[in-house]
Structure 1
């Protein structure tokens, strides 16, 4: 915890998939049959998750609403009417989940941090220390079990406050917001987290949110989709532009403040 220097190169990836780095392995028989000699000694077998799909506890311990909380609660947006309010209850059952990971023999776990759990209102509010405490405990238990944490900063969910105030990824303001969020995470967890990714599948986030409108913020125009607002020809490029520059902002804050040799 704190502002300790990060001692390994960061993996700040504007990624489509992280599968080359983390392989899902849910069958111990398969893992044993392959044998250690089949892979390099530093090969990583792992599991992966995203905050909205796993954590649940959507308003617990000071967490704010995110865009998926709001989107999934609107009738008609989700075919079966389900939402991530509970999900698999990872927020409260992470100890059991990590025990299961250990029993599978995995040595890495990729998870994302809920932006609204750390900064419920972005720069417009305070850091939620209960959220920081949760991820500190999660990271510490993973390391105690010999499981390397791989942290994704954004897996589609952003604080709803940022959507309401300036339109989320459609505004250049999002770049400074993401810089602030990344800085908070590097400062809080960077002494133990060696591997980071900035965005999960930003291409999907942009096309689904601003072209077809099937993901929040559900913006689109005909003939690409049937939304109340949006411009499918223009807005995907605006959002992608701001996401790319937000990635660059996170890289900059890491290199200037946290990378070995920068101080």
Structure 2
């Protein structure tokens, strides 16, 4: 069956409950019909009544209801990550991390053979970065700590005070201008000495991570009130230790990602308990966990394809989030059964995916104050789309395939196409799975090849934020939105060939000049008005700081 917009609309309808936007389109008419005699009124009067009824029941009339506003307490922010922007890779006592090692020892792995040695030079230009945040008017800035910058050996036997001071300077600059810092404790840049000992495949990583985050909490939790333990565990485990598309480029498919999944859940839980037990009582604050969640939709309306969606969800992100957010804890049951069956058939004496003990489940379950979601796009899913994969591998374990229709707009990233309604579908998937939990969109953005007039990015942001408004209209507990990214940066294996920034960075300029794109002005307008205006066109190319920022 050829996928159509009807299939996506059907899936969106399936995701919704009776109070949804699409159902509410028809509700005013149904109400009028129930009023009996009013049905014979002149069509002009009918239209007025429809508008009045829409206002009375506070429902969405049409796909985009003009005038919807984000709540006053809704947080708007921007996000970055340490290796992608800081540079200063070997300055002031910083140690080597797995990305330093990769780009210097395997340069052909990077699309343009570039490195993050200087990147955006934010280590030296953090004040300009904060100035850009003030220009945008954001409420909060999400950044990550470089483990190797504060612990050069990976262990707390050597604490680099220059690294601590850099983050103190950044935090103080943010607070000076009433921008709330949110720290990501781990965004993929493991110290190389720890990788030499096995990295996330070594069970001792759980304790190593706790030792590291203790140093972070001890130095910054007096001023920082929001922490994220780990960014996108799927990318750490599946891409880093399964299919080798992220550092450390270990291809241990079907085994490595599952071993990593156990260790990373336990490491997260240890970091959460440390904060919750020691630092939260002193300073208050929250500690959460961020996952990459795609909008996985069925290729057809068949029950088989709907089940394929569930298996893809389990393989892609629920394997990491279920242990924390599900009622029973532990890995997803269907995935456990499938991997056990495949492992036995392949001659393994035990399952390649070992569930947690009951004690471990209890220790991990509930260890997050919010669900952080990084969302970009999605795909259509079906058993019929499956093609043979490596054996063993997690994709072979579930036997499900994916596809993207040709009419979805392609970004500069091969993996990233603009899926209709993807933000709404994603938020609804999370709500349906875990109930009424606080959700922060910790990354969302569009990749381009560069240039200032980034209309596709503008359209993407508007569509995504309309999806957030749809979710808010349904009562989904979305608390905030962080644009990815504040500025262009080193985009992992793509190097500098893909641009995600609201601000363009000139890498040919030693000063790494930052220039606002059209999307920066549009995002600023959305933040200022707390509305998505599809007709807004920036009247200037000069970015200024508004009063109060």
1:142 correspondence with 2:163: no
Once residues 218 and 47 of structure 1 are traced to their aligned partners in structure 2, the CA distance between those partners, rounded to angstroms, is 28
Counterpart in the other structure of 1:72: 103
Helix, strand or coil for the counterpart of 1:71?
A: helix
Contact 2:235 2:246 (C-alpha < 8 Å) held by counterparts:
no
Alignment of 1:120-131 (within 5 A): 120-123=152-155, 125-131=157-163
1:259 correspondence with 2:280: yes
How far 1:75 moved relative to its partner? 2.7
Counterpart in the other structure of 2:75: 44
Q: Unpaired runs of 5+ in structure 1?
A: 1-33, 221-230
TM-score by length of 1: 0.79
Contact 2:85 2:122 (C-alpha < 8 Å) held by counterparts:
yes
RMSD between superposed Cα atoms in Å = 1.7
TM-score by length of 2: 0.38
Once residues 141 and 277 of structure 2 are traced to their aligned partners in structure 1, the CA distance between those partners, rounded to angstroms, is 27
Once residues 139 and 159 of structure 1 are traced to their aligned partners in structure 2, the CA distance between those partners, rounded to angstroms, is 23
Alignment of 1:82-161 (within 5 A): 82-123=114-155, 125-161=157-193
Counterpart in the other structure of 1:238: 259
Q: Choose the corresponding residue for 1:216, options 247, 254, 259.
A: 247
Once residues 147 and 47 of structure 1 are traced to their aligned partners in structure 2, the CA distance between those partners, rounded to angstroms, is 11
Once residues 77 and 139 of structure 2 are traced to their aligned partners in structure 1, the CA distance between those partners, rounded to angstroms, is 6
C-alpha deviations, 1:15-72, integer Å up to 9, x for none? Answer: xxxxxxxxxxxxxxxxxxx99x922222211110000001011011110000011011
Helix, strand or coil for the counterpart of 2:183?
A: strand
Counterpart in the other structure of 2:58: none
How far 1:206 moved relative to its partner? 1.1
Aligned length: 217
Q: Choose the corresponding residue for 2:270, options 231, 238, 249.
A: 249
Q: Unpaired runs of 5+ in structure 2?
A: 1-65, 284-549
C-alpha deviations, 1:92-115, integer Å up to 9, x for none? Answer: 000011011101111110000000
Q: Structure 1 261/143 Cα, relative in aligned 2: closer, same or farther at 3 Å?
A: closer
C-alpha deviations, 1:189-226, integer Å up to 9, x for none? Answer: 00010110011111112111111112111111xxxxxx
Counterpart in the other structure of 2:26: none
How far 1:257 moved relative to its partner? 1.5
Task: Identify which of structures 1 and 2 has the higher relative contact order when contacts are C-alpha pairs closer than 8 Å and 6+ apart.
Answer: 1
Counterpart in the other structure of 2:509: none
C-alpha deviations, 1:147-194, integer Å up to 9, x for none? Answer: 000110001111001011x11101011111100111111110000101
Q: Choose the corresponding residue for 1:181, options 212, 220, 228.
A: 212
Q: If you compute each CA radius of gyration, which structure gives the higher value, 1 or 2?
A: 2
Once residues 102 and 169 of structure 2 are traced to their aligned partners in structure 1, the CA distance between those partners, rounded to angstroms, is 29
